Structure 1
Amino acid sequence: MTDHMLKKMEAPALAAEGPLEDIQRRAEAIVNPASGLANDYLNLFNEIVMLIEQLPAMPELIEDILKWRPVTYQSYFSKSILPGRVSALEAYEKLDLTFRKDFESVVADLDRRAVGAAVAIRRQYKKDTDTSSPVMSELCERVGQALREILLTASDLVNHGRRTQRETEQERADRLIYGAHRRTA
């Protein structure tokens, strides 16, 4: 969405509240009170996952994938035009150190895997420029799914201020098999 379109959409809100009140309200809303983190940062990762998953059907996305680079939380909001960027940075500095390290660890894992995915896609693309080939499609599906799993952990941290315990595929299979076995016994 262009800046012009955003301004047109925001115009009624500015007129109703006044510019300073609207900016303050949006600035406060950017930081999740449960965690002290802003969900907007995760858009960086949602974007690369969507690009990767759509690549087999949209070959023009290859350049965007190959140009993708990690950006730290602080850098993301330092360069942001969002009204709440200052609030997001201030809240980040006040985070519990253990929680912040946990979040940064998850982000480092996302960064590493996203860069690794781009490298694997680049390698495959050099071998075969057909982005819709079965090999490329499988690669994009696999790395997209792996990134989404870690992104869920990051989302839990941002949205709930903690990691949510997730059932692994093996645990789910064991539960279903064991549960079915118990009902028939």
Structure 2
Amino acid sequence: MSAVTSPQESASGLSSDGVETGMADPQGRLRGRLTGTPIHPKSLLATDYLNHFNEPAMLLDILADCPESIEDLAAWKPLSYADHFRASGLSYSELAIEAYRLAPAQFRIGFELVVAEMNALVAGAIAQAKEALETSDPATFARISADAQRLQALVAEAGGIVQGEPSRRVDQNAIDALMGQK
């Protein structure tokens, strides 16, 4: 996607992919500052947050073969989008936090639903992992492996939303209701 808008795009307020570029709205003004960052101009979200879930997915996946990974896994704590970026040290962290607050509801709400599911899945898997290590139960290790695969699928789903694919989890009526428009 080109960061430069044509005269036709400027006049219409839309880029070639339908992203509003006008300066009259906060999202439009923000989009003009995203050049050189991994924040997607349509969703206003960044995939860097998903790195927070890649570590537990990997640790869950190797737990049966590497039981000492439980220490790192048990230390994992859910972080909000803003907290993740505050702690990240990335040069665009404040912009990512600002963009998240302005992210269109059609992306942010679905993203938040996926993140909530990922947080719950990891918390449950950590509890199961502790049990599995105490009992050496192969069935529990199998469930943990399945959780790792499910977490990877959820990370991919969230990544799709970040890349501007509308969430399958939320329809427009639900968005309108959540936003108080109906």
Structure-2-length-normalised TM-score: 0.67
Residues 101-131 of structure 1 deviation map (CA, whole Å, 9 limit, x = unaligned): 2211110011011111111111222223xxx
RCO greater where, 1 or 2, for CA within 8 Å and sep 6 or more?
1
Secondary structure of 2:96's aligned partner:
helix
Shift of 1:149: 2.1
CA contact (8 A) 1:27 1:85 kept: no
Structure 2 distance, partners of 1:123, 1:48, is 17
Structure 1 distance, partners of 2:134, 2:35, is 44
How is 1:1-185 mapped onto 2 (pairs within 5 angstroms)?
Answer: 28-128=36-136, 134-163=138-167
CA contact (8 A) 2:110 2:167 kept: no
Structure 2 distance, partners of 1:80, 1:141, is 28
CA 1:90–1:107: 2 relative to 1, 3 Å = same
Q: Give the aligned residue type for 1:30.
A: P
Secondary structure of 2:120's aligned partner:
helix
Structure 2 distance, partners of 1:82, 1:42, is 14
Aligned pair count? Answer: 137
Structure-1-length-normalised TM-score: 0.66
Consecutive unaligned residues in structure 2, runs of 5 or more: 1-32, 170-182
CA contact (8 A) 2:43 2:163 kept: yes
Secondary structure of 1:109's aligned partner:
helix
Regions of 4+ moved over 4 Å = none
- Name which one, 1 or 2, has greater alpha-carbon Rg: 1
CA contact (8 A) 1:121 1:139 kept: no
CA contact (8 A) 2:115 2:158 kept: yes
Structure 2 distance, partners of 1:94, 1:153, is 21
CA contact (8 A) 1:34 1:161 kept: no
Shift of 1:163: 3.2
Identity fraction in percent: 32
Consecutive unaligned residues in structure 1, runs of 5 or more: 1-24, 166-185
